[in-house]
Amino acid sequence: MDILLVRHGESEGNRDQKLQGSIDKPLTDKGRGQARRLGAWLKARGARVDASYCSPLMRANETAKLVTETAELPAPTVLESVAEIHAGSLEDMTRDEIVAAHPAFMGRRLSSLGDFSAYGGESHDDVMARVRRTIDRLTSSHRERADRVLLVAHGGFNFHFTKALLCDPVPRLNMMRWGNCTASLIRLRERRGHYIGELTWHVPNELMVTADEAAASDALFP
């Protein structure tokens, strides 16, 4: 089974530099353009997908619909377990607002990333339970047929989901940059008694460009 894992396009919360979590924000026009660019990039490369899934939150749902329509892939099915991590009282706050209200938050160890239990949100264990349910759901439906599935979710969820697919035992920390409409292909195979994933590629949206756009841009290497 292959998983084409995508983060949603730029949302209004991203634009306003707010921690969204479970807050439901729509895409911006830029985010819609990112989703269409990803769809066009996949279509140009002959991408094949047997099933598509997405988070119930509108920023991921809309991204998934735009990507699948543009790339002519199967329409997405909502998967509740891939919603973004609930961040409790930190939701809908900017970095400066978080620092003012919770001074200790920015000083936490990196290994605590994605755990918001101290602020009334989800704990690491809560999120990993959702991750495991998602993996079980996908493997039960698609492993035997060796399907390729598209999954459009969120930066926080993808952070934990990727760890669980690629690592055994699953670490607390794994640093991958999940920009808006970044896409990764993770190939899951049986290897010496482990059904484990291999990161085949990881492409940010800004690299999904035509040759002319690439020649005109130097933004990737300032």
65-95, pLDDT tens digit by residue? 999 999 999 999 999 999 999 999 999 999 9
220 is a domain residue? no
Measured from the Cβ of residue 174, the count of other Cβ atoms closer than 10 Å reads: 14
Inter-helix orientation angle 155-166/124-142, to 10° = 70
Under 8 Å between Cβ of 12 and 29: no
166 is a domain residue? yes
Residue 104: the pLDDT is 86
Partners of residue 190 on adjacent β-strands: 195
Residue 109: the pLDDT is 85
Residue 222: the pLDDT is 43
Residues of the chain with pLDDT under 70: 210-222
Residue 221: the pLDDT is 42
122 is a domain residue? yes
Number of domains in the chain: 1
Burial of 136 by CB count in 10 Å (0-12 exposed, 13-18 middle, 19+ buried)?
A: exposed
Partners of residue 149 on adjacent β-strands: 3, 51
Global pTM value: 0.92
Parent domain of 185: 2-212
Residue 112: the pLDDT is 84
75 is a domain residue? yes
Task: Kindly provide the residue ranges of all beta strands, DSSP E only, lying in the chain, ordered along the sequence.
Answer: 2-7, 18-19, 51-54, 76-78, 93-94, 148-153, 183-191, 194-203
218 is a domain residue? no
List the CATH number of the domain containing 171: 3.40.50.1240
